[in-house]
Amino acid sequence: MKKVIEVKNLTKKYKELKAVNGLSFDVYENEILGLLGPNGSGKSTTINCLLSLLNFDEGKIEILGKEMTPDLYEIKRKIGVVFQEVAVFDELTVYENIDYFCGLYIENKEKRKKYVKDALQLVKLEEFLNFKPKQLSGGLLRRLNIACGIAHKPEIIFLDEPTVAVDPQSRNNILDGIKKLRKDGATIIYTTHYMEEVELICDRIIILDKGKVIAEGTKEELKELTGIEEKVTIEINDLNESHIEEIYKLPNVKTVEYEGEKLVITYGKGKNNFSKLLDYLKKEEIYYNKIYSERPTLNDVFLELTGKELRD
């Protein structure tokens, strides 16, 4: 596949702190790449370096075959950016906002008119052309923000937490729009803390921590890294410490957590894990309300790789 972004040994320091530490990765044409990491992992710093909004100390960044610099406008015109903070003009209508941002790149009026119409259709804002931002709900405002960032039909799109604090309907609309952008030929770098979104739309995932890549691959490849084959969740009352210790001794058990009357057990590879657990519960006359088994989620992988401690 063709590389559209190539990052080699990127390092960015803030005094003694290395926010990005020898980071290297590639982004390929027409993929949705999930760039993940806990707070303070270096995601925002990396993106700002890629966009030449920050100077960096060491390394090299190439975008569309050219070394990225602050004045490389021929490449910047091919990039769309949608930051987490909504950035539109309150005094302009929905249509005027999209037209303004599109006009920064597209001078031809007829072409711009078509592009604005396409952007409105993508985010389904056709009925709100004359509304001003203060008249829009949070979900509509997010969709306007996206339309402003992608109206000029960029080849590469950076989306930073585009679904924060929106309702499920708006989130579904936004995710469908992102998949359509990829279908139309865009390459997308997607950051979010919603792991279920990453599972739904991302072709490949990079997880950062402490400024370094700690894992990279498809969601299935990342799940293989943890060694977790199965996760069993049980709603159960009055489980004592000795029961938990005995469950931990069952074959292939990796972790056992019991909190708020919910028991969660993860297993490594092995056979008949579920049936052996049921046999133990029956033998000990331990009664439960619900029990179900599932493959590990990307959220399980993320916590396994980055830890469960709170980050600032």
Cα three-residue angle 259-260-263, rounded to 5 degrees:
50
Dist. CA 309–CA 303, nearest whole Å: 9
Fold category of 3-224 in CATH: Rossmann fold (3.40.50)
Phi, psi of 294 (to 5 degrees): -155, 160
What CATH number belongs to 229-295?
A: 3.30.70.980
Query: Nearest to residue 292, comparing CAs of 225, 221, 236, 224?
Result: 236
**Exposed (0-12), middle (13-18) or buried (19+): which is 20, by Cβ within 10 Å?**
buried
Residue by residue, pLDDT tens for the chain (312 residues) are: 899 999 999 999 999 899 999 999 999 999 999 999 999 999 999 999 999 999 999 999 999 999 999 999 999 999 999 999 999 999 999 999 999 999 999 999 999 999 999 999 999 999 999 999 999 999 999 999 999 999 999 999 999 999 998 999 999 999 999 999 999 999 999 999 999 999 999 999 999 999 999 999 999 999 888 888 899 999 998 899 999 999 999 999 999 999 989 999 999 988 899 999 999 999 999 999 999 999 888 998 898 889 877 776
- CA–centroid distance for 173 within its chain: 16
How many degrees, rounded to 5, is the angle at CA 29 between CA 26 and CA 33?
A: 55
Q: How is the beta sheet containing 253-259 ordered, strand by strand? A: 253-259, 262-267, 230-236, 288-294
Q: Which residues belong to CATH 3.40.50.300 in the chain?
A: 3-224
Tell me where in the chain the CATH 3.30.70.980 domain(s) lie. 229-295
